[in-house]
Amino acid sequence: MIVQISSALAGPQFPAGEVWLCGAGPGDPDLLTLRAVQALGQADLILHDALPGRIALRHARRSAEIVAVGKRKGAAPVPQAKINARLIAGARAGLRVLRLKGGDPFTFGRGGEEALACEAAGITWRVIPGISAGMAAPAAAGIPITHRGMASAVTFVTAHDETGALPELNWAALAQSGGTIAAFMALSRLDELALRLLAGGLDPATPVALISQASLPGQAILRTTLGPATLEAKRAGLPTPCMIIIGAVAALGQRAITHAVGGLRHAHG
């Protein structure tokens, strides 16, 4: 039996009193979806993260109130509860409220928490999917995260739990999975992450690619292996955001990226 439900995806018209959770993609403003651009042009209130490509905000209408609520280095982040309260208050005031988040709002972006808060408050919410950095960063580096005969699965993980520590995952199982591991927000936890995977049996010679500022003009790629990855990353001094790809596929794309995308800076370990 097929059960039809009303879609939570945002339509082209942005009704007053609603909250739209919108993905801004990995940073390059050309990777915004058409639906995201339409929403930016209609929103009355925009609450945005510390976007890697703030130029996306150029699509906001002139009269919109734009509020930064993201985490920034050296500054205390706006508490999630305060963000939720601002979303709800704006919608109750009859505003069209846009929550603009890097990547995809439901992929390590706390979009689910904000949706649940709106639902609990009786506020209609919708979502505009965005291109997740977990897919965009390796693609921008010419790395296929799955590849026949090399990687039949990919696991997306975050290197930070709600306390900021490395999550208590079954790292040994990940080490033995034989697939690709794509780690979000992992640069500061790379040492611990690598140690967990090595302890789980992953070969120190496993290829690793660190992709900094994916899709932006300053994109840089460090290619190394799991054993020396932490030391090489410290030497390179890559800026964030940085996606880390671990697995056989991380060795692919070195020649293709040179021809496919001009102007990229490569840091070889």
Q: What is the set of active-site residues?
A: 49, 71, 185
Query: Could you give the CA distance from residue 133 to residue 128 in angstroms, rounded to a whole number?
Result: 15
SS3 for 55-90 is: HHHHHCCCCCEEEECCCECCECCCCHHHHHHHHHHH
Q: Return left, alpha or beta for 185; rule: phi > 0 is left, psi -120 to 50 is alpha, else beta.
A: left
H helices within the chain, ranges in order? 34-40, 80-92, 111-120, 133-140, 171-175, 190-199, 229-236, 254-260
Query: Could you give the CA distance from residue 65 to residue 48 in angstroms, rounded to a whole number?
Result: 11
Q: Are 244 and 137 in contact (CB under 8 A)?
A: no
Strand bridging mode 45-48 / 207-212: unpaired
Using DSSP, state whether 241 is helix, strand or coil: coil
Query: Could you give the CA distance from residue 175 to residue 115 in angstroms, rounded to a whole number?
Result: 33
Q: Are 239 and 210 in contact (CB under 8 A)?
A: no
Token pair belonging to 88 = 């709800």
The amino acid occupying position 107 is T
The amino acid occupying position 203 is D
